[in-house]
Every structure is written in C-alpha cells, then in structure tokens.
Amino acid sequence: MKLGIQLGYWGLGLTAQDQLDIVQEAERLGYDSVFAAEAYGSDAVTILGWIAGQTEKIRIGSAIMQIPARTPAMTAMTAATLDNLSGGRFILGLGTSGPQVAEGWHGQRFGRQLKRTREYVEVVRKALARERLEYHGETIDLPLPDGPGKALKLTIAPVQEQIPVYIAAIGPNNTRLVGEIGDGLLPMMFSPEHADVALGSLWEGIEKAGRRREDVAVCPSTNFHIGDDPDGSAEGMMRGAAALYIGGMGSREKNFYNAAVSRYGFQDAAKEIQDLFLEGKKLEAMGAIPHELLDAINLVGTREHVTERLRAYEAAGVDTLIVTPATTTRDGRIAQLRELAAAAEAV
C-alpha cells in the first residue's frame, strides 16, 4: 500500500512556501503522490502546476477537479498540460461535488449524475486520445448540431499513454459506476473495518464490466495524528472536519457523508450530528461524534496502533491511502509525515 498526501484547500493558514516544504519532504520520504482539492476557494489546477515544476518524482493529482466547473474538453486540455509539465506524473481525479456547490456556485444542474459522469469521462478520454471530438450523448452533444461547431482534436499529446482517471464516490450507485469506468476510486469517510459496505458496490461494478479488481485503484482520504495530543487540538480538527461533512456538507435530504457513516451502523449518531449542526450548534455537533466513529474514519493513536490500522487498510484492498496531518503548522505536518512513514515501514 502506498501513501499520498492531501494538501486540501489553499490559503487556510499555511503559506505557499510552507506547503511546498511539506510536499518536498513527502517526496523525500517516499510518498507516492500529492493531491490538491477545490470547492469554492482555491482551485486544484493552479496549485498542481506550481508543484509540478518544483518536484521530480512524486505524482500530482486532483482530488478533486469539479465536473460542473469545466467542460470535458477543458478538463482534457488541463490534464494534458499538467501531464506535460510534470513529465507524466498527473492523476486526474474528478467528482460531481454536491448540489449546493454545483447549482449555487457553478450554475450547473445537479441531476442525472450517473449518466453525466459516465459521458463526461468518455469525452475526456476521447479528447486525451486525440480523437476528433464528436460525441452525441444524453447530457453532452459535440459539436452542437445546429451551429458552426467543428469536431476538433487535442493539439498536444499527454506524456502518459493513458492518464489515470480517478472518480470521487461514496454512495453505492456512484461507487458501482466507478467500478465500471474508473481507473481509481476516491472515497471519503472510509472505514477499513467496514470495507464490505464501502467497497461492495465497487466490486459489483468491476464484475459487471468484466474487469479485474486490480484495474481500479482504491484511494481513500483520511485525517491522521500519531502520538500524544496533550491539548486535544488534533482531535478537535478531526471532530471539526467530521461534524462539517456529516452534519453540514449538503442538505438534510441529500448528504452523502451522513449516509455513508449511517451505513456503517452509526445512524443515530449521524442524525444527531446533523440535527445539531444544521441548528447552528457546531460545537455540540463535534461533541456528539462517538469515539468509535472518530477512530473508524481517521488514523489516530500511538505508532503501534496506527501501524495496525495501516495493516487493516491494506487488508481492505486499499492501494493508496491519502492522508492529511491533523495539525495546522508546517513543522507539525512534516513531523507527522515522518511518523507515518515510519509506521508504514513497519507494515
């Protein structure tokens, strides 16, 4: 099992130089990949291009680039450019985001997500293969049939023969689709002890498409902290992130993260966290997260305990574990990356 690092959203306390120091140390330690995220602040692409020119070996990936934010042709152009800038190190991670961001920020309807994702990936791959971009689907129509549009092809070639396309998914239907069409799965709120629940539909999709399990990399994201936490700051960060996603990342009717932990058996806790968060009681929502749930979806404890959890991730079928150190400082993050590298060596 390989390790990756998630930089998350840019500009939330760390400087650009801090982030670069963290990435370069991860590369020195042998981390396989570094990922950047986007929501409605910093974008992933600019950061990855900047990192590509200041690293040599570590793979760079988006986790995620938002499907509603770009046409598939624009995504293909960007992927090919980043692959060239990095010398063939780019991983294209895609996701639909949620309805509030898609419709409220990007002005794109959120409906028909399975069909939209399938067609989007097909068009991106067609463009990256430098085929003339003619595609007539249910959600994408290229060229437009009633105007002067021309079927064009990408003028530059990626370095990699095939840029891997990873897809963020949590729900069973979306995860099944990844098994059918994706090169990798990017789940959040993943618990290795509940891998049968989290990954069962992935295996179904792989089987349906006549593929092999090794055709789809499993790359969950998690927060982690190894060692003492005397002031509780690391636990506080983990509780804050969990409360935000379980309680407030979406509406009461449609929250993918809340549904995920409910499937793990934490239905009552998930409802309480959401109720409190949506009532504006964020601290109470953080406090309502059971320790068992916090431990299930994070990597926290002594080096020995974390080593055992890493073995559990590997046994669950995880190919790359993408981690975020639960500390806000440059030195703290670098120290935690070193601790995790040492724990991984023991595995």
**pLDDT value for 11:** 79
Residues of the chain above pLDDT 70, percent: 100
Query: Under CATH, to which class is 2-230+300-346 assigned?
Result: alpha beta
Average pLDDT, the chain: 96
pLDDT of res. 341: 98
pLDDT at position 13: 85
Percent of the chain topping pLDDT 90: 93
90 φ/ψ angles, rounded to the nearest 5 degrees: -90, 140
Question: Counting beta carbons within 10 angstroms of the beta carbon of residue 71, is it exposed (0 to 12), middle (13 to 18) or buried (19 or more)?
Answer: middle
Q: What is d(CA 60, CA 5) in angstroms, rounded to the nearest whole number?
A: 10
Instruction: Give residue-wise pLDDT tens across range 207-241.
Output: 999 999 999 999 999 999 999 999 999 999 999 99
Match 């406090």 to its residue by tokens. Answer: 287
Tokens 């130089």 sit on residue: 17
Which pLDDT score, from 0 to 100, does residue 239 have?
97
Question: Tens of pLDDT along 233-284?
Answer: 999 999 999 999 999 987 888 898 999 999 999 999 999 999 999 999 999 9
Q: Domain map of the chain by residue range?
A: 2-230+300-346, 231-299
Per-residue pLDDT tens digits for 8-49: 998 778 999 999 999 999 999 999 999 999 999 999 999 999
Residues 151-157: what's their mean pLDDT?
Answer: 97
Place 83 in a pLDDT band, splitting at 50, 70 and 90.
very high
Answer yes or no: are the C-beta atoms of 298 and 238 closer than 8 Å: yes
Contacts of 335 (CB under 8 A, 6+ apart): none
Residue 115 binned pLDDT confidence (cut-offs 50, 70, 90): very high
